[in-house]
Amino acid sequence: MALTLTILGSNSALPTSDRYPTAQILRVSERFFLIDCGEGTQMQLRRNKVNFSKINHIFLSHLHGDHVFGLIGLISTFGLLGRRKALTIHAHEDLKCLLQPHLDYFCADLPYQIHFNDLRYDEPAIIYEDKKVTVESFPLSHRVPTCGFLFKEKAKEPNIRKEAILKYQLTVPEIVAIKDGHPFIGEDGNVVPEENLITPAPAPLSYAFCSDTRYSRRIIPVIQGVSLLYHEATFLHELKDLAKRTGHTTAKQAAVIARDADVGQLILGHFSSRYKDVSLFENEAKEVFLNTALVSDNTVIEL
């Protein structure tokens, strides 16, 4: 089962003519999750042919404008498109009070419900769960309360080998028990090796989104072993003091996090517009963590 990440916007606070502010759409186990919603997100969703009706959850890392200014437009467009399904927005509790007057004024008679789920900023928390996926928030370190998000597929059951069903004339309860890890005794009284009975399930995939944040080692146990990590890298390491002061990270620091959390792959974004040549970010990160790539708008990553 695939995990697909589409970068809708990858710029830092100042939009440029070729990069939108932060927004991403994550498809995991057929769920579509929107992460942050900078200005222009709805245009980018259309450009990337994302079905608007599939988005039922929006996760907002923090309430800085470059991560949220596209929200009211998207909510409005959902309504104009005749949406009926409820939309849940996971965000800082201040969002409700900020958004409600605009909903009342610009989106009166919205044909669907909006639910607000207030995030916590003291410790990690499961904020969404269904049969196939969990979403966990965890505190980051920025100038305002900020959460990162960890999206994890749940462990899947192994598959029974067809030939085993035939050979051992397996009943349904026996299949369930084998999938559950119980040993199966053959007619000769011996345990049948597991590999003769099942093909193991693919390892569950996971994605962690970490932006905006200064370098914060306390996220490492939370994101340990994640398949794909997006970490902001606003500055190069020469500006690490500025990064710390402004609540951001350098490319090198992001790579250290990736290395020490033993992630599968690191992707970087949110580059300061002062840098014309963003390849410098990749070079700096790769000295620490080789499997690093830069993202730009409309980048699609499939696991």
Give the residues lining the site for a second copy (CB under 8 A): 13-17, 20, 39-40, 42-43, 46-47, 63-66, 69-70, 72-73, 76-77, 80-81, 94, 97-98, 101-102, 105-107
- CA 245 to CA 239: how far, in whole Å? 10
Question: Cβ 94 to a second copy, closest distance in Å?
Answer: 7
CB of 89 to a second copy, least distance (A): 16
Q: Which is nearer to a second copy, 4 or 77 (CB)?
A: 77
Output 97 or 191, the one with its CB closest to a second copy. 97
Closer of 68 and 170 to a second copy (Cβ): 68
Residue at 299: amino acid letter? T
Listed residue (104, 73, 15, 48) closest to 301, CA to CA: 48
| Token pair of 80 as six digits | 């104009």
Contacts 24+ apart (CB under 8 A), 232-239: 232/268, 232/269, 232/270, 233/268, 233/269, 233/270, 233/271, 233/281, 233/285, 234/12, 234/270, 234/271, 234/272, 235/272, 236/275, 236/280, 236/281, 236/284, 237/284
Q: What is the smallest separation between the CB atom of 43 and a second copy, expressed in angstroms?
A: 6
Q: Residue 61: CA atoms inside 13 Å, Cβ hemisphere, count?
A: 28
Select which of 18, 66, 241, 262 is catalytic.
66
Q: What's the closest the beta carbon of residue 194 comes to a second copy, in angstroms?
A: 50
Q: Which residues are annotated as a binding site?
A: 62, 64, 66-67, 142, 212, 270
**Residue (83 or 152) nearer to a second copy, CB:** 83
Q: Which residues of 205-216 are buried (b: 16+ CB within 10 A; e: fewer)?
A: bbbbbbbbbbbb
- Compare residues 79 and 124 and give the one whose CB is closer to a second copy: 79
Which residues, other chains included, contact 92 with Cβ-Cβ below 8 Å and sequence gap of 6+? 60, 62, 63, 118, 119, 144, 145
Told to judge if 66 belongs to the known catalytic residues of this protein, a careful annotator would answer yes
**Cα dihedral 9/12/13/15 (nearest 10):** -50
Annotated binding site for Zn(2+): 62, 64, 66-67, 142, 212, 270
> Can you tell me the distance from the alpha carbon of 83 to that of 100, in angstroms, rounded to the nearest whole number?
18
Give which of 143, 197, 192, 148 is closest to 175, Cα–Cα. 197
CB of 42 to a second copy, least distance (A): 6
Taking every pair of Cα atoms in the chain, the longest distance, rounded to a whole number of angstroms, is: 75
Residue number, 46 or 167, with CB nearest to a second copy: 46
Least separation, in Å, of the C-beta of 73 and a second copy?
4
Catalytic residue list: 66
